């Protein structure tokens, strides 16, 4: 009964008086032993020696913890309290916290080629940057693709100091970051059939796209009427500057770079562009197979392009994307197209090289092309040496304003 009273309740029993201890069994040899072991009654399996050892260990631990805190090591509860209360002095005392783990690569440049689906991709990137939290860096300059040495240095500096992970996009010819002491980013780009790109640009400069058509907007308002309604066949057959070299030598410089020879149609620029594609570009896609391009970008750069294909196929996005289609396009005569093929010989060599590399990459990842059989490559005449003149710098239009209008709707 005494044991039930002693252990049955939830509270600790009161200590026995000496008299009660003697009555419970108590001679000097037995009761006295119970009184001496009373401090260890909660841990009956420990001897006095073990108890002293545990207390000494605990004391050393407390002293060590106190010494650590006095030498600048704050306990976790103080750090949590400072975080909640704000105005923490922890950074001042102990330096910056460890940097967040960045995706690889954390520096991506999309030096987009004009009239190769770039407005569609930039619209997707704006959605993806909000969804995934990467830094989308754009530029207010849209029609300056060739830069001086100082302009290259300044642009590379501005790009390199952007918060990572970033994706920088602008119409600009390839920049060699390592030449100016910077970390070379990963490049991506998209190209299309050169004649189709030229025709799209020709009519876009004159008549814009469906969005401008709906809002009765005039594209390039300063253009003279006779130039705006210049027949495409006349432009090509009569060798107008807009329809001849070097204005037609357009895609290759985006991959060749900023060297003056990159603007001269020829083997040197072509081979240098191929070399840069192999060494500096993670992916160069083909606009005619855009869905496969987006799928590969999602696989290669998931931190940037995850779910891009589902967003692209969304009916709402498709509705916006259809507004970027150039209006009032007409097809030149077969004779004019054959002349364009001859003038764009190097552009087509580069296009078919990139297309072949893209298809090899698709097969490597098990993607099959569901497009019609391509037409045979055109036969080119060996052109006479081409004179290099300074192209007019009006081919790139300010398409960022279009995107801003989309977001204001």
Identify whether the C-beta of residue 321 lies closer than 8 Å to the C-beta of residue 226.
no
Count CB atoms within 10 A of the CB of residue 110: 22
3-state helix, strand, coil in the chain (%, to 5): 55, 5, 40
Q: Are strands 107-110 and 166-169 parallel, antiparallel or unpaired?
A: parallel
| Residue 171 among the catalytic residues | yes
Place of tokens 């692209």: 312
Kindly report the number of other CB atoms within 10 A of residue 199's CB atom: 20
d(CA 60, CA 50): 15
168: enclosing H helix or E strand? strand 166-169
Angle between helices 194-207 and 334-343 (to 10 degrees): 110
Residues 39-52 as b or e (16 or more Cβ within 10 Å = b): eeeeeeeeeeeeee
- Per DSSP bridges, beta strands 135-137 and 107-110 are unpaired
Q: What is 87-117 written as a DSSP string?
A: ---HHHHH-PPPPPPPPSS-EEEE-PPTTSS
Which of 7, 94, 171, 173 is an active site residue? 171
Contact in structure between 269 and 262 (CB atoms under 8 Å) = yes
Asked if 251 contacts 267 with a C-beta cutoff of 8 angstroms, the reply is no
**Which residue is it, tokens 């197209």?**
337
Q: Which residues are catalytic?
A: 171
């Amino acid at each position: 009964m005494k044991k039930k009273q002693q252990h049955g309740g939830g509270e600790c029993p009161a200590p026995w008086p000496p008299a009660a201890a003697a009555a419970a069994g108590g001679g000097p040899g037995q009761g006295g032993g119970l009184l001496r072991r009373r401090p260890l009654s909660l841990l009956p399996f420990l001897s006095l020696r073990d108890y002293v050892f545990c207390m000494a260990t605990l004391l050393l631990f407390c002293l060590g913890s106190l010494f650590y805190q006095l030498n600048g090591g704050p306990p976790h509860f103080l750090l949590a309290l400072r975080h909640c209360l704000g105005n923490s002095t922890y950074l001042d005392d102990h330096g910056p916290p460890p940097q967040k783990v960045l995706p690889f690569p954390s520096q991506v440049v999309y030096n987009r080629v004009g009239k190769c689906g770039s407005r569609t991709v930039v619209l997707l990137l704006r959605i993806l940057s909000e969804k995934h939290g990467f830094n989308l860096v754009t530029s207010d300059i849209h029609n300056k693709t060739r830069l001086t040495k100082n302009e290259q240095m300044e642009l590379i500096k501005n790009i390199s100091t952007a918060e990572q992970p970033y994706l920088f996009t602008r119409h600009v010819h390839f920049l060699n970051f390592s030449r100016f002491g910077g970390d070379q980013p990963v490049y991506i780009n998209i190209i299309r059939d050169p004649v189709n790109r030229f025709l799209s640009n020709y009519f876009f400069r004159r008549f814009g796209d469906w969005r401008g058509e709906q809002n009765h907007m005039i594209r390039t308002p300063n253009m003279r009427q006779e130039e705006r309604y210049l027949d495409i066949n006349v432009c090509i057959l009569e060798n107008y500057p807009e329809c001849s070299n070097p204005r037609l030598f357009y895609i290759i410089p985006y991959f060749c770079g900023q060297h003056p020879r990159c603007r001269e149609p020829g083997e040197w620029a072509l081979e240098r562009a191929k070399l840069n594609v192999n060494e500096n570009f993670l992916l160069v896609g083909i606009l005619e197979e855009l869905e496969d391009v987006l799928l590969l970008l999602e696989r290669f750069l998931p931190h940037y392009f995850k779910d891009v294909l589902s967003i692209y196929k969304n009916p709402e996005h498709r509705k916006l994307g259809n507004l970027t289609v150039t209006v009032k396009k007409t097809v030149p005569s077969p004779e004019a197209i054959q002349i364009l093929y001859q003038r764009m010989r190097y552009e087509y060599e580069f296009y078919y090289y990139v297309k072949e590399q893209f298809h090899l990459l698709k097969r490597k990842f098990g993607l099959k092309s569901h497009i019609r059989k391509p037409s045979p490559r055109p036969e080119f005449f060996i052109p006479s040496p081409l004179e290099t003149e300074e192209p007019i710098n009006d081919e790139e239009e300010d398409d960022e304003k279009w995107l801003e209008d989309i977001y204001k709707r």
